[in-house]
Amino acid sequence: MAAGGTGGDAAVKLELTIDGASGEIEILRPGPACRFRLDGEEREADVATPEPGVYSILMNGRTYDARIEESADGSRGLAVVIDGFRFAIEVRDPRRMPAGAGGRRKQGAEAVTAPMPGKVVRVLVAVGDRVEAGQGLAVVEAMKMQNEMKAAHAGRVESIAVKEGDTVAAGQALATIE
């Protein structure tokens, strides 16, 4: 399948910091049959989510167990524990950065994305609804915490890409506001 796929699956680029080292990941196709480019190298993995925040990953013939946790230092950051090894991580979506953090927000449609892998527990709006800046659009559960994804600006809900019960990958589009 070509990058971009079918059904509007656009590639999503995210900036990563893993234990202080910076990098970039581009999600070409979200799980369960995931395809991604990590620092320029394209890879594939099969991802199962036995419970929110817990992932079983099959990549290159090897299985990895991963668990998303809050950082041990009490900061707002996250940690991933893979087969007993703990990695401090930070994931940034440049499309969601505020205007003062590297440029002006684009005019027009804006995708609201999941900041981390999880499960959609509630969809709070419908296509065509008018929303205000800061209004909740969907609730995603990750690491046994529920996170309300909010509109960055006022507008109209152009599309909703998920439904309650869906498992989502980090950076996956939840809704589009125009």
- What is the per-residue pLDDT across 2-35, written as a single tens digit (0 to 9) for each? 333 334 446 778 787 787 788 888 888 877 888 9
Choice among 11-15, 65-69, 100-104, 159-163 with the minimum mean pLDDT: 100-104
What is the residue extent of each domain of the chain? 12-92, 108-177
The CATH class that applies to domain 12-92 reads alpha beta
pLDDT per position as a tens digit, 90-122: 777 766 554 443 333 445 577 888 877 889 999
Taking CA atoms, 71 is separated from 9, 89, 128, 171, in Å, by 31, 9, 38, 20
Determine if the pTM surpasses 0.75.
no
CATH 3.40.50.11240 fits 108-177, yes or no: no
Collapse the DSSP code of 3 into the 3-class scheme (helix H, G, I; strand E, B; otherwise coil) and give the result.
coil
For residues 109 and 176, is the Cβ–Cβ distance under 8 A? yes
Q: Please state the three-class secondary structure of 62-118 as a single string.
A: EEEEEEEEECCCCCCCEEEEECCEEEEEEEECHHHCCCCCCCCCCCCCEEEECCCCE
In this structure, what token pair is assigned to residue 12?
Answer: 């999503």
